[in-house]
Structure 1
Amino acid sequence: MMKNNLNVRQMQAYAAICLLIFCDHIRITNNAITELIKHLLAMSTAKSLPDWEQAGTGIAITGRGDPVPAEVDEAIPENYKATFNTLVECCVEVGIVDMYGASTEQPRLFLEKCIGIVQSLGLELPPIESLDKLAKGEDEWGEPVSEAELSNLVEGIGLKL
């Protein structure tokens, strides 16, 4: 079990980082994947979490049981398709599982699955403490940060969208 003091926004950002690192590893790039990663990261800056959640239903890859677009599916090597789908669903669940109910351990557990998938491939993740740079806030969800703070975090750990 992973111990962290991250709020849900920070966990969502780290899950998005896991997906980005995985996609870089299997060398798939697609606008729909980039759109999903940007959406997941945008939770960090969202002033309205319900509006952010609703926006996620309108993107090409929702991670909510809908099939991925054919061009994305065709770009994923066969031996990574199931892993990709599981990782996408876990990444999305980090941010939405507790959206309309009580706060639980589920976001952390989904993040642990994301981390486990990436690490099972021998990939290196940035230190989870790097998320401490984002403002924490007073509750489990945290407060939104500025676009500049989010951009500095992503660039600071050496990632590019």
Structure 2
Amino acid sequence: MKGFKEFILRGNVIDLAVAVVIGAAFTAIVTALVTNIFNPLIGALFNASMLDKALIVSIPTVSGGQADLKFGAVIGAAINFIIIAAVVYFCLVLPMNGFLKRAFARQKVEEGTPQEVPPTDVEILSEIRDLLRAQNSSLNTTGGSHAAEVAPPTPTGTTGVPGMPSA
């Protein structure tokens, strides 16, 4: 029972439920718009009261009857889809994108620091190389060198460790 309660109270489920309810209400508006305005207008072009009654092709069946291919209904469904997509885009997506763009721009201004792109590995390695070159050139010009600090090679037959005989 605890898992079911967590599932129901999860934010995504609530958002999905709201979307389904709003979508159903929105579908009723778009269907009324298409059925009562666009279908009659397009049907007038094809001399029919509705697209469902336009562009009907009858074909004979094997049993001797006729079957109707309703191309107008398919065209009406395609128009319905285009209208729904346009309304969703222009009434929901476009305004929301504008709102989000303004909100993020305002947030960046409030933070006061522009978002910097972190340097790439190549840029960091180039900086390290340049710093090492500068360090080496400054050591060479002052007369000091790390090479002088390195112990000279040991003669053959000795270990190089003071107080330890060779083997």
TM-score between the two structures when normalised by the length of structure 2:
0.18
Hey, which of these two has a bigger chunk of strand by percent? 2
Larger relative contact order (Cα-Cα within 8 Å, sequence gap ≥ 6): 1
Hey, which of these two has a bigger chunk of helix by percent? 2
